[in-house]
Structures are given as structure tokens and as C-alpha cells.
């Protein structure tokens, strides 16, 4: 009897999965909604009576019900990069020229529509969805699996010949029709309508009750496979495979042979995009071959093998009421245009950046002007021109401020610099607050329980004046702060304590040294291995480190020349913050390849290309993407490009195999 019930439950699950796939992915239902609902009801009744046959991926659980109070942060196995943007034919042609210098043979491109939604990374094991994580900062995101399971176009169980384990990336979108219906319902009940589909889709993923998410008509459009042994060699094949496995992959993607064909695709969709059921803001162009993608690799921020083409930005005109000035954590002054509120690209715009004094002079922008505002690739809108026909007769040219708006110290502007700076490093409140906010941020110390607003409260209450003061805070001291309860005060203090385990390269980034971003911090940490060695480095020493220029070197030396910074670092040491590379990291690093530059080309057997590059860097070597007279060795795998081989032979650069390289570092 029990076996018959189990078979009945399994048969209903299989049927419902098939009908779900036909309806939400293929858009081709073969039974009525009523019949589907009856089968679902039958399954729910059987599962309620027989909890021993529970399945976390049963179609009956699509309705949600799981409540998530706190979304856990998950580190991505493979970083989710952002894309470089292009806006013209010339941009794309320049991109193609760069590509053809780095890879051999003909290059084909996959063109895909750039959907405007929330990026998502799904992980499948043995055909079952095990994890759904938001993009976050690209390195880590939030686990929203319970909410994503309610989205009908996300398969919970795959079909066909899928790999044992892989990731697939896509965009969670809210179709325009669904968005309009949601707003109609809100207006009827007297609620404020949602602003735009993108923000509504993104916000839906962070609702605590997955049953509420299930009520929203979200869809998941997939576009990128990640993993090893996928069984495909190209992006376009990958899209087809994903469809076969049960994913909703947009059919508008095209495989083309030239940038001219790419432009035909772009021009068509620029004209026809409003016929689509979803919002798009451009086209993504990818080198089709996975092998060529590997050859091209990544910059610090984006893949070299992909380019986003953004459609012309929307523009509106509005009145500039006032120009105010903001002080950043480095003391940089940013002029801000305060505008008469205006609707632009689905959001109400009240402010726009004016960048610097030169930009104000170039545009001759003044308070009271009617200005044209654009929201392009940037999140912050910008003023692109002034409507001089509407300028008031009594208009006066803008005089850039001479003193800091926060501490009234005279501003400085270095030769060759675009921005003015407040030099009051230790006494200007926004700089003090900004540095601590940077220190606790997600990519830096990632202190749980402590946000930017709380930092400002702590500074204004006189409890902290620099980031080393954080480590002396007690629950009793922070409890009196606004909106602070016993539990949140304990979480804050515990989060600060946990930050002592953050590795050195992230601590170095957290210190907020001007021009030292994530990538530079990693380079410096790897080279100097401790804060003491770095603080003793001269400007000449620093510029000899790979990718460290004069500007960065000067800034690092200035930072450590400050007596106050030295005192803060001494305190961080006493509190146990990681200010040198860990023994584990050092154990994996040698200087065996110091002074040697390698070019990696081809497909490898024992280790992946990424692992090979890491081995080079861990052993003190440098990886370059192109062969030159400065190249020490070319590590050649299967399918090495013939032009690279020819160039290496011409320059008499030694070509070694994967095994020979591994022997070299053994």
C-alpha cells in the first residue's frame, strides 16, 4: 500500500513538472488551468497525509510558505563580474581589434538581449536546484533559495543529459503586464504604486515570506553556464543545452560572424524593444567560443570577451534649484545639482552629479537654469547640457566654493587633479565617518550588525573617532543609541570581534588608502606580506611592484608618514586584526618564479587555466596576456593558437608543456 502511495505521489510530481515546463517555459500548455489545479490539490492532500515522502523540490512547494528572517551571505564559487559598456559602432570595433590581437582564428559572437532585472546565480547538483544566490558585490551575495523556488520558470528538477554539478546565471525579471496588474491592484487598495519592474523584481527576492513572493509573476531568464565538463564548447551551444535541460532561455539570441552583423542585431532591437514582454536596456555581445573566452580572460572588473551595448539613454529637462557640495571620505569635493523632481527611466530624479569645477565651467551651468538630465550607464543621473533659451536674465555664473562646506578649511587642488580636496584629514566629520563606513563595508571588513547610519551615530555621540576605536566598544556604550536594542547591540559588538579574522588583503583595502582599491590591495599584500614591510617601503620600492604607479606609490607613502595613521595601525595590531598574510597563505607561496613572466595558451589536462595562472602568481611569477620580448616562458596546452606559437618561436621564447611547468614549481 505504502509503495503504491509513493508511486502515485511521484507520478503526480512528474506530471505537474511536465505541465509546469510546458506552461511557463515553452508557453504551450496542454491541459487547462482547472485540471492543473486539481492535480496539484490531489498531490498536496497526499503529501499532507504522508509526510514520510517529503521532497524539498516538490511542485506543491511552489506556493511558498518558508519564512527567512535573515538572508545568509554566500561567497560565489566563481566571481560574477560586471560588463564593460559601449555606446557606439566605434566602441565595438575597438573592442574587436583588442580581441583579435589576443586570440587566433575567426571570432564569432553570440548576441543576447540585456534584460533589466536582478542578477541571479543558481547551483544544481544531480539535476536538483540546491542554491540560489543574488549577485551582491560579485564576490558574495544573499542566499534567496526559498524565494526563487516559488518562481515557476525556475526548474526544481532538470531533464535530459545535465552535468552532475554546475551553475547557471540569469536575470529575475517582472514582465511588464504583470507589473501593471500589480500596480492596478495597489492603486485599488489605496497603496502607492511600484516605481518600475526592475526594482520591484529585486525587492521581491528579499521578502521574508516566500508565500508573498509566490504571488508575484516573476520569471527567470537564463543566459550563462559555469562549471567544468559541461559538454559544450560555445556560448550558443550552452544556451541550447540549457533549454533542453528545462530552463527558460530567451529565443532572441543570435549567432553572428562580424561586428556589422552585431550592429544589425542591435539596431533591430533598439527599434523593436517595446514589443517585448520584458524591459531591456541594451544588448550583450559575447565571443562565442569558450576556448577563446579563456584565452581572453578578465580585467580587474570585467571579462575581456563580453561587451554590453547600451541603448541611448533617456533624457528629460528640469530646473536646477541649487548647487550643493558633498565631502567624500578622501576629502574629495563633489558638486551636486539639486533638481526640481522629474520622472526619468522609471524613477523620480531629484539630484544629479556635476563632477567637478571644470565640468561646471564647461557646461556653464547655473542655479535657476533649465537643464537636460540623462540616466545612461551610470546609476547617478548627470546633467549633459543647459537650455540657454530659458536662462533667467538675472543669472549669475557659478562660483565654485573655496572652503570646505563641513569644516570651513580652505580647499586645495593639486596640479593635474580635476577635484578640489579638503585637507582636514583628521578633523572633517564626513571624512572621519566616511573612512569608518568604508572600513566596515562588505568588500572590506564586512562587519555584521553595523551599518553606515550607525557609524554616523557612533561618531556624533563621541564614542569613536577612527576605525580602531570600534574594537573598544561595549554593549553598554552602544545600547543608548537611537533604535538600538539589547540583541542588536550584542550583534554589533560580536560582528566587530569576528572582523579580526578578515584576511590581510581585505584589511589593507579597508584602511582606505587613496587609490588603493581591491585589486591593488591584493597586489601589495601579496608582495609585502605584512603591514610593517609595506609601511617601510619607499616610493621607489613601490613603483617596482607590478601595476603600482607613481600616484599609488606616493599615496601609500603619505598614508604611512602620518603619525596618527601609524598609531591607529599599532592599535589594530594590539586588538588582533590580521595585518600580515596568514601562515596558510604563505605556505602556498614561493619566490621560485620571481622576475619571470609567463603567457598561458591552450587547453590543459591536470589543472585549469585559472589554476595555472594562480600557481604562477603564488610562486612569484607574473602572467601576461600577450607575448613580447619580456616574456620568459609560454606554457602551451592543447589547441595553442598558431600565431602565438609563431611569435614565440620568432622571439626565441621557450615553449614549455603543462607538465614541465608543474615540475618547475615542484
- Residue ranges at the known binding site: 33-37, 82-83, 112, 135, 171, 286, 310, 404, 407, 422, 428
What 3-state DSSP class applies to 85?
Answer: strand
Kindly write down the DSSP assignment for every residue of 456-485, as one continuous string: HHHHHTTS-SSGGGGGG--HHHHTTSTT--
- CA distance readout (Å), 339 to 228, 324, 366: 51, 11, 12
What 3-state DSSP class applies to 173?
Answer: strand
- The pair phi, psi for residue 323, each rounded to 5°, is -105, 120
Tell me the C-alpha distance between 23 and 44, whole Å. Answer: 20
Tell me the C-alpha distance between 494 and 474, whole Å. Answer: 10
> Helices 176-188 and 197-204: crossing angle, nearest 10°?
80
647 Cβ contact partners less than 8 Å away, ≥ 6 residues apart: 627
Give residue for cell 587566433: 104
The reply to whether 350 belongs to the active site is no
Kindly write down the DSSP assignment for every residue of 108-136, as one continuous string: -EEEEEEE-SEEEEEEEETTEEEEEEE-T
The residue from 69, 89, 114, 664 that is catalytic is: 114
CB 103 within 8 A of CB 296: yes
Q: What cell does 449 get? A: 550588525
Beta-bridge mates of residue 121: 133, 169
What 3-state DSSP class applies to 390?
Answer: helix
Tell me the C-alpha distance between 523 and 553, whole Å. Answer: 12
Which of 451, 448, 444 lies closest to 502, judged by CA?
444
| 3 state SS for 572-591 | HHHHCCCCECCHHHHHCCCC
Total Cβ atoms within 10 A of residue 419: 18
Give residue for cell 583588442: 98
CB 36 within 8 A of CB 17: no
Annotated binding site for Zn(2+): 404, 407, 422, 428
Which of 84, 101, 81, 93 lies closest to 262, judged by CA?
93
Q: What cell does 256 get? A: 553572428
| 3 state SS for 210-233 | HHHHHCCCCEEEEEEEECCCCCCC
Question: Taken in order 270, 271, 274, 276, is the CA torsion positive or negative?
Answer: negative
Question: Taken in order 152, 153, 159, 165, is the CA torsion positive or negative?
Answer: negative
Q: Say how far residue 531 (Cα) sits from the centre of its chain.
A: 28
Annotated binding site for NAD(+): 33-37, 82-83, 112, 135, 171, 286, 310
What 3-state DSSP class applies to 418?
Answer: coil
Give the helix ranges, DSSP H, for 124-196.
Answer: 145-148, 176-188
Total Cβ atoms within 10 A of residue 423: 14
The dihedral over CA atoms of 117, 118, 123, 128, expressed in degrees to the nearest 10, equals -60
- CA distance readout (Å), 627 to 603, 608, 644, 647, 651: 17, 20, 7, 7, 9
Query: Which residues are the active-site residues?
Result: 114
Amino acid at each position: 500500500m505504502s509503495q503504491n502511495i509513493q508511486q502515485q505521489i511521484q507520478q503526480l510530481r512528474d506530471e505537474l513538472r511536465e505541465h509546469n515546463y510546458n506552461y511557463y517555459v515553452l508557453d504551450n500548455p496542454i491541459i487547462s488551468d482547472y485540471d492543473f489545479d486539481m492535480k496539484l490539490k490531489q498531490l498536496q492532500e497526499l503529501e499532507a497525509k504522508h509526510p514520510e515522502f517529503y521532497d524539498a523540490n516538490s511542485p506543491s512547494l511552489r506556493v511558498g510558505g518558508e519564512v527567512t528572517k535573515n538572508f545568509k551571505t554566500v561567497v560565489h564559487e566563481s566571481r560574477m563580474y560586471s560588463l564593460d559598456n559601449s555606446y557606439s559602432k566605434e566602441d565595438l570595433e575597438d573592442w574587436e581589434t583588442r580581441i583579435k590581437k589576443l586570440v587566433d582564428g575567426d571570432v564569432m559572437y553570440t548576441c543576447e538581449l540585456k534584460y533589466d532585472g536582478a542578477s541571479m546565480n543558481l547551483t544544481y547538483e544531480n539535476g536538483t536546484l540546491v542554491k540560489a544566490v543574488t549577485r551582491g558585490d560579485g564576490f558574495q551575495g544573499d542566499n534567496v533559495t526559498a524565494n526563487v523556488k516559488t518562481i515557476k520558470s525556475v526548474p526544481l528538477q532538470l531533464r535530459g543529459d545535465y552535468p552532475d554539478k554546475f551553475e547557471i546565471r540569469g536575470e529575475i525579471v517582472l514582465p511588464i503586464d504583470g507589473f501593471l496588474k500589480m500596480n492596478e491592484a495597489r492603486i485599488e487598495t489605496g497603496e502607492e504604486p511600484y516605481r518600475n519592474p526592475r526594482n520591484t523584481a529585486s525587492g521581491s527576492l528579499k521578502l521574508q515570506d516566500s508565500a508573498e513572493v509566490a504571488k508575484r509573476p516573476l520569471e527567470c531568464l537564463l543566459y550563462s553556464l559555469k562549471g567544468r565538463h559541461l559538454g559544450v564548447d560555445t556560448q550558443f551551444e550552452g544556451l541550447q543545452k540549457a533549454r533542453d535541460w528545462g530552463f527558460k532561455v530567451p529565443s532572441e539570441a543570435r549567432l553572428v560572424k562580424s561586428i556589422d552583423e552585431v550592429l544589425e542585431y542591435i539596431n533591430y532591437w533598439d527599434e523593436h524593444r517595446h514589443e517585448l514582454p520584458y524591459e531591456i536596456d541594451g544588448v550583450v555581445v559575447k565571443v562565442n567560443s569558450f576556448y577563446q573566452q579563456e584565452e581572453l580572460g578578465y580585467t580587474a572588473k570585467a571579462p575581456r570577451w563580453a561587451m554590453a551595448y547600451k541603448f541611448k539613454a533617456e533624457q528629460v529637462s528640469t530646473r536646477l534649484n541649487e548647487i550643493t557640495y558633498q565631502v567624500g571620505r578622501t576629502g574629495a569635493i563633489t558638486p551636486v545639482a539639486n533638481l526640481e523632481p522629474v520622472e526619468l527611466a522609471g524613477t523620480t530624479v531629484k539630484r544629479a552629479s556635476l563632477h567637478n569645477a571644470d565640468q561646471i565651467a564647461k557646461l556653464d551651468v547655473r542655479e535657476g537654469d533649465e537643464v537636460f538630465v540623462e540616466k545612461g550607464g551610470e546609476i547617478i543621473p548627470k546633467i549633459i547640457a543647459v537650455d540657454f533659451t530659458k536662462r533667467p536674465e538675472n543669472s549669475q555664473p557659478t562660483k565654485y566654493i573655496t572652503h570646505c562646506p563641513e569644516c570651513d578649511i580652505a580647499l586645495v587642488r593639486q596640479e593635474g587633479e580635476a577635484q578640489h580636496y579638503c585637507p582636514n584629514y583628521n578633523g572633517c566629520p564626513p571624512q572621519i565617518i566616511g573612512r569608518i563606513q568604508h572600513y566596515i563595508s562588505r568588500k572590506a571588513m564586512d562587519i555584521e550588525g553595523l551599518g553606515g547610519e550607525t557609524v554616523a551615530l557612533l561618531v556624533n555621540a563621541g564614542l569613536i573617532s577612527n576605525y580602531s576605536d570600534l574594537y573598544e566598544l561595549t554593549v553598554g556604550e552602544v545600547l543608548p543609541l537611537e533604535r538600538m536594542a539589547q540583541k542588536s547591540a550584542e550583534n554589533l559588538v560580536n560582528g566587530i570581534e569576528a572582523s579580526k579574522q578578515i584576511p590581510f588583503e581585505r584589511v589593507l583595502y579597508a584602511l582606505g588608502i587613496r587609490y588603493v582599491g581591491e585589486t591593488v590591495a591584493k597586489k601589495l599584500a601579496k608582495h609585502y606580506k605584512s603591514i610593517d614591510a609595506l609601511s617601510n617601503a619607499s616610493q621607489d620600492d613601490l613603483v617596482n611592484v607590478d601595476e603600482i604607479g607613481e600616484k599609488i606609490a606616493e599615496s601609500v607613502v603619505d598614508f604611512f608618514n602620518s603619525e596618527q595613521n601609524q598609531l591607529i595601525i599599532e592599535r589594530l595590531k594590539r586588538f588582533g586584526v590580521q595585518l600580515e598574510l596568514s601562515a596558510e597563505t604563505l605556505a602556498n607561496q614561493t619566490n621560485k618564479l620571481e622576475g619571470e613572466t609567463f603567457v598561458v595558451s591552450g587547453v590543459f589536462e591536470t589543472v585549469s587555466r585559472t589554476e595555472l595562472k594562480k600557481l604562477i602568481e603564488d610562486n612569484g611569477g607574473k602572467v601576461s596576456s600577450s607575448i613580447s620580448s619580456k616574456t620568459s616562458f609560454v606554457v602551451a596546452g592543447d589547441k595553442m593558437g598558431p600565431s602565438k606559437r609563431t611569435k614565440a618561436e620568432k622571439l626565441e621564447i621557450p615553449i614549455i608543456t603543462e607538465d614541465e611547468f608543474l615540475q618547475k614549481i615542484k
